[in-house]
Structure 1
Amino acid sequence: MKKIVFISHGHPELSKGGAEVASWNLYQLLLKNGYDCLYIARTDGASHGGSTFSSRGEEVLLHTGMSDWFNLSTSHLKPLFSDLAELLKEFAPDVVHIHHYAHIGIELFPAVRRALPNAKIVFTIHEFMAMCMHNGQMVKRETLKLCSKAVEADCHKCFPSHSPGDFFLRKHYVQDQFSFVDDFVSPSQFLADRYVAWGLPQEKVHVIENVLPTLTPVAPRALADGEKRTKLAFFGQVNPYKGLDILLKALTLLPHELRSKVHLDVHGANFDMQTNDFKEKVELLLNEVEDCVDLRGPYESEQLSSRMAECDWVIIPSIWWENSPVVIQEAIHIGRPLIGSNIGGMKEKIDGIAGITFEARSAASLASAIVKAVDPDVFQYWHEKLSNQQPAVEQHLQFIEALCS
């Protein structure tokens, strides 16, 4: 039986980020297909007795941390080069599939290679953290202007305490650690192209979409005579990069007759953790549109289908590039077309495939897209194009099988 180890920077039951969920879904897929799998997830806090590992069901929790966020580095080397190494040697996997190094340290890659010189190391890229110190967002710190590539002089302007030379050395240190990786997986072509331009060997980069759990399509809601497709929904984190403020502003720009019929449900989390400036901006906009917006709060995965079933369109107004937002694939599989920003992974996954795109960061452009989308014929056109198939399942299985052969 072929053995696969997954390493994630968080357990999806404790931290519901995209990388955690993506790694978990792939882990579950391989278990169902007869692979012997071990899931290792980094966690906060010390374990009972101070050991490096504890357990959560069948999964292993790795208690460690990252001490140098500039270099994505850790000074906690024993958990990686000694404790994790011993665990990996004991399990003796054919493949180690890493889904993030954040909170663990970029030294994770040489630690795995030293422990398992003959195993294949795979790394799935989930964002731009390796090339952008600004939370991997690839936007300027103060203005949030998009960055098309990582330029050391521009990085220095965002973080004046670090010289352009510091960023040059950071890039090459990270690339040195990535040299231990045999194959990289990117869920979008856009992200793959950015990393190849940054320095990853093109022949090592494979574009394969993230795997979803099985989702059953939900029929469109029934319309009354003359009713339009005016039920809109936002799913995701509420932070400055996700564009909820753009969406709320767009609602204020709708023609009065349409505005009185449109309704937006916001299914989002972590608004309370944002800066005061951002919270005040959003709260002022919410006051303007309180008649047509409901804040529904965060949701569990098992609530997704029922919440999405209530809407006609899912809107993704992010102001950063995004990679392959899982909500896009979820909406497609459940049967809800999308309205999304025309940049990055959103444009790649939506434009001409699953809905309408609009000029990123433009509330006026988004308002125009909403006016178009509420037409039942427009909704029907895009709804009929959606597919519940997951080619990524077979692609991942073929990829893993080739690594193990």
Structure 2
Amino acid sequence: MITTAPLPRWSDLARLARAVPADPVAISPWLKPWDSGFLTPRTAWSLAAIAGAVSTRAGLPARVLLPGWICDQSLWPLRRTGAELTFLPVLPDGGMDWAAAEALGGIDVVVVVHTFGRPAGMDAARDFASRRGALLVEDAAHALMPGPGIHEAGDMVLYSPHKLLAVPEGAVLAVRPRAGEWSGSIADSLGRPATAANDHRWLARRLIQRLIPDMARRWLPQGGQTDFLTDPPTMDMAPPEAPSGLSRRLLAAADPEREAGRRQDNDAALREALAPLPDLRPLFAAGDWVPYRLALRAASPKAAALRYQALRRARLPVESWPDLPPEVLADPAHAEGAVLLRRSVLLLPVHGALEPGRLAAAYAKVLR
């Protein structure tokens, strides 16, 4: 069945009987030589831990610069640290407007997001952070693993394997050698949360989804937002829990290289099938990067909403992104960047459990 969430392979089940791997083993695909790293509950808590470490060292709230095109729900733990958040406008292509950053005051942490897995340009970010004496954090929550343009310029890199692999929870915080002095402070800030219980219901649900034929999709409950322009409210998050033994086993069993190839194949199949559409175009050009979703930009917000509703009626997975921070929605400086992107971009799934031909045919049937 075509799903938004990644689905486990049957071969993964055989590995669940193995011993729970140590954290360094489980997170090794997301670290480079000489990195230190942490297995964390979610990327949102990783970023909050960095801000907490900075605040503790300075004795003041951390001043954090973020792109305006970012998910507000993911910032809930960061806001809880008391951090002062500044949102930099983004350009129509989603890149941060570094010219506008020059007028800003003091900054302690600069966050750059590799949105949908595409490497963001890091040269200007690295230059700005270095001149301001700020830590540069690469938010690679949409990136499958390190690659060209990702995990190169930052002082810290944040990954969310649970978003791209069939794992119920688990994120990685990599500290680069240039920022190694921060490892101890970040460890203290992360603390030692209780370990999550094994979520066998999650595993059973994902395996059932793998068994259900796609023709049955029309009769199943449909999740997600019914209206394209309506976002869910930001909710309080439960206290963080360390990834369960089930998550650690699945993480260690994952094959990121295989997943990368499958995602690129699915992305290419959708691009080819939808190329004739006059009102939908890929937001980013294809490349050697691994997509989190296929992001399609509509000719207008109205066109995006119509396409969104058509896919919903066909019971095909489609998403909008992100739920923008209220500061961004209230600031006219973000209207032509983050706000317009939010109102014109649709996301389609490309994860490795999907079959390229069937995936492309299903979406082409509805959209063409």
TM, length-normalised to structure 1: 0.30
Structure with the bigger RCO (C-alpha within 8 Å, sep 6+) is 2
TM, length-normalised to structure 2: 0.32
